Amino acid sequence: MKNSGDGDQTIEKTMTTFLDNLTKPRGSLGKLETYAIKMAKIQNLVPPRIEKKGIYVFAGDHGVAREGVSLYPQEVTRQMVLNFLSGGAGINALAGGTGWELTAVDAGVAGDFPGDAELKPKCRFVRAKIGPGSNNFMSGPAMTGEELKKSLKAGENFALDAAERGYDLTAIGDMGIGNTTTAAALLVAAGFSPEEMIDRGTGIDEKMLEHKREIVTKAVTLRRPAKTGEAILEQLGAFDLAMMTGFILGLKDRGIGCVLDGFPVTAAAYMAFMIDETVVNYLFAGHLSKVAGHRPILNALGLEPIVSLDMRLGEGTGAVIGGFIVELGVRSSREMASFSEAGVSTSGTEEKNY
């Protein structure tokens, strides 16, 4: 049933009552009930539904990679996208195993891809390249104002795509060598401390980590962006992160939930939050990454991670696992019988304990 339109408090109360009348002790499904209630508020529907889920993995190259901040060369971004398209990456396995439709997006990979006839991609592939990688923000702004507008608009178009494809729940993944450096720079510029935000990423040693700290802190000082999401993205961002930001903003009022992955994706979510704080109303934190800066951003967004599995792969792998758990919460609310339907007696007390 649809809510009468009296707001989030009314639908939360309606959904809570609905859950309390299912054949279980009150609150006994714990956080699964919390996720079902949030989805009910997102969809304005009791009980909520998740019939289709879509994960969008935004890939792009980062100019700052030329500063030697990653263990891997820049060409790995393109090579990993090809791995997605051939079905051989972690996200292919985990998305397939948890029922997500996978879309790989070329938001700004350095280098082109063969045509689909040659690629024969095993997942959907969308070519939305803004440019062949962002500019190295050590030498100038990461992108022009026009490129930022195009990136945000492209992200909004993917939100429209999600609605047109009938997704009830979406997730965001990332692929881009150097993206933890870019994410850290965005967040330091937003006011987080460098000590919290700058971490080893792909597993760099102490010497390279110190170099990464120097690059990020110097870049923020050089660029000195105004403290708005748009200004920070233009000066220190990248096409993929800006597209993720646009995607999150574009989901507003569409009745679609969105599950975040790790550090770079959550950095983009924080940029969206700086632009519109209400985005947190339809966001879920899929997992807690091993990257040290992830927890402080989630805390600032008021999001509790669904799982903590010591993961730091990216690609949306943590998001699809966490999102699947959200789906289980929704399925339980839709598929369990009520006490009256099942002919089960209640305890006669408000707590409904067995």
> Catalytic residue numbers?
315
Asked whether 121 and 47 are in contact (CB, 8 A), the reply is no
* Kind and range of the H or E run holding 94: helix 90-98
* Neighbouring residues of 35: CB distance < 8 A, sequence distance ≥ 6: 284, 306, 325, 326, 329, 330
Whether a cis peptide bond, with omega within 30° of 0, leads into 132 is no
**Order of strands, edge to edge, in the sheet holding 169-175?**
124-127, 101-108, 53-60, 169-175, 257-260, 283-287, 305-307
Please name the residue that has the structure tokens 């990020």.
Answer: 216
Q: What 3-state class would DSSP assign to 121?
A: coil
Hey, which residues does 283 pair with through a beta bridge?
258
Cα–Cα distance between 180 and 229 in angstroms, integer? 17
Asked whether 250 and 158 are in contact (CB, 8 A), the reply is yes
How far CA 76 is from CA of 4, 109, 119, 319, in Å, comes to 51, 10, 17, 22
Asked whether 173 and 261 are in contact (CB, 8 A), the reply is yes
What's the token pair of residue 182? 């870019």
Decide: residue 176, CB within 10 A, 0-12 exposed, 13-18 middle, 19+ buried. buried
What's the token pair of residue 236? 């220190």
